[in-house]
Amino acid sequence: MSRYQLFSRGLRDSVPMLVGIAPFGIIFGTLAGAGGLSLWQAVGMSLFVYAGSAQFIVVSLMGAGASGVVILLTTFIVNLRHVLYSATLQPQVNELPQRWRVLLAFWLTDETFAVVQRYYLVHGRSALAHWYWLGVASALYACWVGSSLVGVLFGEAVPNMASWGLEFAMLATFIGIVVPLLRNRPQVAAALAAGAVALMTHAWPYKLGLMAAAFSGIAMGVLLERRRTDVTGSSSHEVHS
């Protein structure tokens, strides 16, 4: 496929995620406006920070009068999950020029990772696959910034928009994308473990439960994957013996 075809395919495959991002961005814009941020401050945060959950946390912490140090440390902890995303996708882009890697790294979000990782799992690595990534990322970025703008502009005109439960669209979208990727027992167990820990630690401050859930899922997946590898290796050795 050509660059244009891959880019267009990325745009098309991002559509299901847009359904979840748009309401989420509108809610952020509404809360940011209600929290005292100006139009340019709220939209500028979406343009230059581009981290949905971290932006929500910043707005809530600013409203609570938290110090700058607390805000920085909290957003750092919440965004640590991106280390896992980048480590997973790094082999796919390690031969690209730095300008490409910097651009794609900035646009690496939960939604982008979900769509792009699925593409690599299905189609494998190719010389022009980063154009698909670019298509996905640019569509999601434009949607997030645009919906944030809509939220700021119309937040005052439509009161209590944040209480409408629009964020459920994002949850449903993620479930629809993640579930088909769970193809073996370690992956299913990792998802269940992460979900259980997330529920148990939901009340932890500064979103620490998010990292606890992530590390629990990783630990469960790695443990079962090693056991499966050991069993497979032992069986293979017995057959050859």
Domain match, 91 and 199 both = no
**DSSP tag of 158:** S
Digit-coded pLDDT (tens) for 98-157 = 999 999 999 998 889 888 988 998 888 888 999 999 999 999 999 999 999 998 888 766
Domain match, 53 and 172 both = yes
Domain tally, the chain: 2
Domain match, 156 and 104 both = yes
Q: Locate 132 and state its tokens.
A: 């698909």
**How would residue 165 be classed by pLDDT, with cut points 50, 70 and 90?**
low
- Is 79 inside any structural domain? yes
CA separation, residue 113 to residues 38, 86, 117, 158, 209 (Å) = 30, 9, 6, 33, 21
pTM above 0.85, yes or no: no
Cα angle, residue 15 at apex, residues 87 and 46 outer, rounded to 5°: 65
Compute the half-sphere exposure of residue 104: CA atoms within 13 Å on the CB side of its CA: 23
- Is 241 inside any structural domain? no
- Is 24 inside any structural domain? yes
Q: Where a domain ends, among 158, 181, 204?
A: 181
Domain match, 48 and 132 both = yes
Percent of the chain, pLDDT > 90?
27
Average pLDDT of 75-80?
80
CB 114 within 8 A of CB 137: no
CA distance 139 to 130: 14
Domain match, 144 and 201 both = no
Domain match, 34 and 99 both = yes
Digit-coded pLDDT (tens) for 212-228 = 887 888 888 888 888 87
pLDDT of 143 reads 95
- Is 225 inside any structural domain? yes
Domain match, 109 and 220 both = no
**Least confident residue range of 6-20, 175-189, 225-239:** 225-239
Domain match, 140 and 52 both = yes
